[in-house]
Structure formats: structure tokens, C-alpha cells
A and B are shown apart, each in its own frame.
Chain A
């Protein structure tokens, strides 16, 4: 059975010195091209929402809200790929798995809180603002 573990260990002893070189080659994993691509995409994805809101381009605030949230989501993905060098391969896929797990927790936290508290708000007795101010 120990034979199964052997190949992993076999690479280590002389592999240690090489592992530095190997990582040097990897370096920051980015290239000038990839950083610039990410930067230009980010500038566009930042400029559009600011323009939409500051210029009052759309009459409907709900539509504007949905569009800028979608653009933010796209920009986060752009940053993940071009700046954080996210991929499904690094560390044998574990970074990506950790990211997916975190995303699930983030979605549960955000959607869950807002959903639950919104319904709680709906079912509470109405309190006019001037009364709310006097509450401790």
C-alpha cells in the first residue's frame, strides 16, 4: 500500500530546490496584456454605472438598479480572472472550491438576511418616522 504514496514523496527531495524555480516561472501569473485587459474592462464596467446614475439616463430606478448590480457582478468576475488570477486549476482546484463554498455562504447570508428582514418589516406594526425618532 505504501507504494501508492511513493510517487508523491519521490518528487520531493530534489524537487525542493526546483520548486522555487518552478514558482519563479509562475511568478505573479499575470502578463502586461492580461493586466491591461482587466484594467480596460474594469474602467468600462465602472464608467457605465456611474454614467447611468449621475446622468439620470434611465427614468426607471428599478431598471437602473438591476443593470448596475449586473455590471458590478461582471466586474467582480473580471477582477477575479485578470487581477486575482482565479482559475479552476491552481492548487489542484482547491482555491476554486474554496471560492465556490464562500460564494454559497455569501449568497445565503445576503439573500437570507434581506429576505427574512423584509418580511419581518412587512409584518410589523407601522411606526411613523417622528415616533421612531423618540424610541431609544
Chain B
């Protein structure tokens, strides 16, 4: 009764029978992946918006006037570094080392916070110079796109701190590992979006 019965007409068990644990985690990771795909559609629409409006300066300042690429380079390195430190946290998690996992998570959070601080400094600087979101279609779409990414990073840090408290209180139990793996996807996904931002918005914006 419990032996493998191939479906009618099949000579060998098909993939969904061999992978009995396809949803061993209850499908959470796959579900979260679907959420990320939806999130990337949000960013696709914002990128499209910027692509259409990004050159409409309304006689105001352009990207070449406003962007400081050195700041963007620092920001990019911070986010890239935070990606690899989160990776190290995941490796420590695999080895069941609670304190080292927490340390790497803290480093990741600090790098994320530094990224946010520089981004907020940049925004404040732009607004002080009169380059507010209301100034032109270019600036509206710029602030919406980069701001949405920054908001994602903010919530990522909130989530990260929450999970650090959880891991400290309850240790690396199955549920916490699952949550950390979801946040891992979220964090790396934000870095992927940032690749689009620094290329399409900052580097392309400065060139013309």
C-alpha cells in the first residue's frame, strides 16, 4: 500500500513524487518568493515612471547638477557589504552558533542603518537646495523610486532587529531559521533593486 506507484503510463516516478518535501517548510519560503516577485513589479512600475519622467526637469536642476556620485558609491558599497555580512549570518545559523549569528546580524543592521543615514542626508541636502519632490517630474519620480527603496530598507532593519530579539530569546529554533531565511531573501532582493537604482538613476542621470 505504501509502495511507490507510478502514474498510469509512466515508467519512473515523476518529480513531484521524488521531492516529497517540496513544501517541507509549509511553503513559507516559496510564498515569500512570490511576494518578492510582486514587490519587484512595484519597483518595475516605479522604474518605468522614472524612465518616462526622468528627463522632464521643468527648467529645474538635472541629475548631473544634483547627484554626488561619491556618496552613491559609498552607499552602494555599504549595501553590498551588508549583503555579504547577512550571508555570513546565514552560514553561522547553519552551524547553530547563536552569538555569532547575532553578531553578523548586528553588523548587517549597522551597515543598513549607515546606508539609510547617508540616503537621508542626501535627501535633506537636495531639499535644502530647493530640489524638492514638487520641483519637477524628474524629482517627483526620483524621490518616489529611491524613497520606496529606502522605505524597504527601513522595514528590513525593523524586521532584522525584531528577529535579533527573537533569536536572543528563543534561540535558533526552526521558526526563527525560517524567518531569517525569509529576511535573507528580502535583504538580498533590496540589493538587487539597488543595482537598478545606482545604474539607471544615478550613473545614467549624471552622464547627460
Residues of A that sit less than 8 Å from B by CB: 3-4, 6-8, 10-12, 15, 18-20, 22-24, 27-28, 30-32, 35-36, 38-39, 42-43, 46, 49-50, 53-54, 61, 64-65, 68-69, 71-72, 75-76, 79-80, 83-84, 91-95, 98-99, 101-102, 105-106, 109-110, 112-114, 117, 129-130, 132-133
Chain A interface helix/strand/loop/mixed = helix
Pairwise interchain contact B22-A50, C-beta atoms closer than 8 A: no
| A-B residue pair count with CB separations less than 8 angstroms | 171
| CB neighbours of B20 from chain A (8 A) | 8, 11-12, 15
Q: Is the interface of B mostly helix, strand, loop or mixed?
A: helix
**A38 to B177 CA separation, bound complex (whole angstroms):** 22
B110 contacts partner chain A, Cβ-Cβ < 8 Å: no
Contact check, A92 vs B41: say whether CB atoms are below 8 A apart. no
B121, CB-defined interface residue at 8 Å: no
A126 shortest CB reach to chain B, Å:
13
Tell me if A68 and B69 are in contact (CB < 8 A). Answer: no
Within 8 A of A (CB), among B174-205: 174, 177, 181, 184-185, 188-189, 191-192, 195-196, 198-200, 203-204
User: What class of interface size applies to chain B in its complex with A?
Assistant: 35 or more
Across-interface contacts of A36 in B (CB, < 8 A): 84
Q: Could you tell me if B21 and A130 are in contact, using CB atoms closer than 8 angstroms?
A: no
In the complex, which residues of chain B have a beta carbon less than 8 angstroms from the beta carbon of A99? 37
- Min CB distance, B10 to chain A, in Å? 10
